[in-house]
Amino acid sequence: MRQSLPNIVITGFMGTGKTTVGKKVAQLLGKTFYDFDQIIEERMKISIKEIFEKYGEIFFRDTESKIVIEFVSKTDVVIATGGGTLLFNNNYSVLSENSIIFCLIAQKDILRKRLENSFGRPLLSGGALSERIECLLNERKALYQKLPNPIDTSNLSLSEVASKIIEIYNQHLVTKKFNVDKK
Ligand code: S3P
């Protein structure tokens, strides 16, 4: 029986550093990195902001879920999801079948600072940034809290976050048996 390694999935609210951390973890472990938002933008040849404007959020969520299903067959890669991916449809249960999931978190004022100059995030437009963050966080708090392996990035360097993820991932490999492709 060949044993494949589970994926590392990095999720969390906008501005928690999913893409930056994902790239670092992938680089340190020599794994391939995928960013769901980037995949969607490349395939649709327009930005996430334009997708929301032209087709609406429901269409975007359906597109995300299709990508999630495509990734069922992938093993041993690092994935950064969009900030809402795992909160919609059955994306969490689909991805958790072959992945260890990490949820990055950060304090509100740190999120606001990191997101201050971000103009490509449709869910943060139309109102004061701190209010949009507060409102979305309140809506989603209970859902994010259910996700496994929370890591507060507020006072950690990029290398520290990446090391934590790698340490937890390695522990999982030792304690759990991942026979992702039992054949
Ligand atoms: C979203 C987060 C965004 C992007 C889209 C929706 C969300 O990703 O997927 O704008 O629902 O939180 P980032 O967290 O990478 O900005």
Tell me the mean pLDDT per 10 residues along the chain, length 183: 84 97 98 98 97 97 97 96 97 96 96 90 90 95 96 97 98 75 44
| pLDDT reported for residue 28 | 98
Rounded Cα–Cα distance for residues 65 and 59 (Å): 10
Ligand 1: which of 21, 33, 37, 46 to mutate, most ligand atoms within 8 Å of CB? 37
Distance 11 CA to ligand 1 centre (A): 10
Rounded Cα–Cα distance for residues 109 and 154 (Å): 9
| pLDDT reported for residue 141 | 94
Ligand 1: which of 19, 123, 125 to mutate, most ligand atoms within 8 Å of CB? 123
| pLDDT reported for residue 182 | 43
Whether residue 19 contacts residue 112, with contact meaning beta carbons closer than 8 Å, is answered with no
Distance 182 CA to ligand 1 centre (A): 34
* H/E segment holding residue 34: strand 32-35
Ligand 1: which of 66, 104, 121, 124 to mutate, most ligand atoms within 8 Å of CB? 121
pTM: 0.94
Residue nearest to atom 8 of ligand 1 (CA): 82
Give the amino acid at 164. Answer: K
Token reading at 25: 């973890």
Whether residue 39 contacts residue 170, with contact meaning beta carbons closer than 8 Å, is answered with no
Q: What ligand 1 atom has the least distance to the C-alpha of 136?
A: 12
Rounded Cα–Cα distance for residues 153 and 49 (Å): 26
Residue nearest to atom 16 of ligand 1 (CA): 14
DSSP label at residue 73: G
| pLDDT reported for residue 127 | 83
Q: What ligand 1 atom has the least distance to the C-alpha of 12?
A: 14
- Indicate the burial class of 68 (C-beta count within 10 angstroms; 0-12, 13-18, 19 or more): buried
Rounded Cα–Cα distance for residues 94 and 117 (Å): 33
Whether residue 161 contacts residue 20, with contact meaning beta carbons closer than 8 Å, is answered with no
Q: Which residues sit with their C-beta closer than 6 Å to ligand 1?
A: 14, 18, 37, 48, 82-84, 121-123
